[in-house]
């Protein structure tokens, strides 16, 4: 059982939850977190925002009962977490990568800019409301980051000199990234609803061009070309 080390709330409805269980998971991987009244609720999948050998931090948007229950945790409270699960993003290995995150899908890009700090990323983050504090946290990790508030994060997005794109967030946003790819490879991270996180319940099943996949074990990162966008 892990313990809460920090619970920091931002004015735009997001909070950072730091726990005393670390690891070396790759960007795009996730943990299943059991809300406090775990007997009543299924665990919730959450991407790694930051991690070292002793701690893991999650950046969470309150959208419903599970995330609200997590927001109400206090320093010292126990928390059950399982993982890391899933296949994250591939290391770019020198490819200039444009990352586009929106809504609940922004956490992996902070992890990425720290985990692969020698790689060449530019990041666009789309949020409904601004939090200066959150902006500063991202800006400390990346010197090539742009925030778009209350609008479409893909508007005025340039793919000039870009080799590939990574995206995570709402489906319409990722669809728009895919449509504007100009033949570049696009890798998307799906935020399907999940029950178990390790392939046992089929809650995260998703139709792709190569058949049905379980997003928790086959994803959450897929090639955009593999998606049946019309089924989304
Ligand atoms: C691999 C993965 C990584 C994720 N990483 C993060 C993260 O880093 N930070 C973060 O804030 N959230 C993340 N999410 C989303 C997060 O898991 C959900 O927001 C959370 O489970 C909602 O639980 P809830 O009980 O608060 O809301 P619920 O009461 O279950 O739902 C509230 C509302 O949100 C909708 N909703 C809930 N879950 C999803 C979903 N998966 N896809 C689309 N709509 C949904 C519901 O339909 C409902 O309208 C991730 C999801 C996945 C699959
Ligand atoms: S969440 Fe249970 S099979 Fe994927």
Ligand closest to the CA atom of residue 197: 2
Pocket of ligand 1 (CB under 6 A): 30, 44-47, 58-61, 63-67, 104, 107, 191-194, 220
- For 186-202, what is each residue's pLDDT tens digit? 999 999 999 999 999 99
pLDDT band at 67 (very low <50, low <70, confident <90, very high): very high
Give the atom of ligand 1 at the shortest distance from the alpha carbon of 220: 1
| The pLDDT of residue 38 is above 60 | no
| The pLDDT of residue 41 is above 80 | no
Q: Which of 216, 224, 214 is nearest to 179 (CA)?
A: 224
Pocket of ligand 2 (CB under 6 A): 194-197, 199-204, 214, 216
CA distances from 136 to 4, 64, 132, 226, 230 (A): 23, 26, 6, 35, 37
Give the atom of ligand 1 at the shortest distance from the alpha carbon of 193: 41
CA of residue 194 to ligand 2 center, whole Å: 5
Letter string b/e over residues 141-152, b meaning 16 or more CB atoms within 10 A of that residue's CB: bbeebebbeeee
Say what the pLDDT of residue 143 is.
86
Residues 46 and 106 sit within 8 Å (Cβ to Cβ):
no
- For 97-110, what is each residue's pLDDT tens digit? 999 999 999 999 99
CA of residue 121 to ligand 2 center, whole Å: 31
- For 124-167, what is each residue's pLDDT tens digit? 999 999 989 999 999 998 889 999 998 899 988 889 999 999 99
pTM here?
Answer: 0.94
Give the atom of ligand 2 at the shortest distance from the alpha carbon of 199: 3
CA of residue 196 to ligand 1 center, whole Å: 14
Ligand closest to the CA atom of residue 202: 2
CA of residue 102 to ligand 1 center, whole Å: 13
Say what the pLDDT of residue 39 is.
60
Say what the pLDDT of residue 40 is.
60
């Amino acid at each position: 059982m892990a313990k809460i080390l920090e619970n920091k709330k931002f004015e735009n409805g997001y909070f950072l939850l730091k726990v005393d269980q670390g690891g070396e998971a790759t960007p795009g991987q996730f943990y299943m977190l059991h809300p406090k009244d775990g007997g009543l609720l299924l665990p919730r999948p959450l991407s790694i925002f930051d991690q070292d050998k002793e701690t893991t931090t999650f950046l969470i948007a309150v959208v419903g009962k599970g995330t609200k229950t997590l927001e109400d945790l206090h320093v010292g409270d126990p928390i059950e977490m399982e993982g890391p699960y899933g296949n994250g993003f591939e290391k770019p290995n020198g490819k200039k990568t444009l990352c586009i995150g929106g809504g609940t899908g922004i956490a992996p890009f902070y992890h990425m800019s720290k985990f692969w700090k020698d790689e060449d990323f530019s990041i666009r983050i789309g949020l409904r409301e601004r939090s200066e504090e959150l902006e500063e946290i991202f800006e400390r990790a990346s010197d090539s980051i742009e925030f778009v508030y209350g609008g479409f994060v893909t508007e005025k997005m340039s793919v000039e000199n870009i080799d590939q794109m990574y995206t995570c967030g709402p489906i319409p946003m990722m669809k728009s990234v895919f449509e504007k790819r100009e033949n570049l490879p696009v890798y998307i991270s799906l935020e399907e609803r999940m029950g178990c996180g390790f392939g046992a319940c089929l809650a995260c099943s998703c139709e792709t061009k190569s058949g049905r996949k379980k997003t928790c074990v086959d994803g959450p990162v897929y090639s955009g070309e593999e998606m049946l966008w019309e089924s989304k």
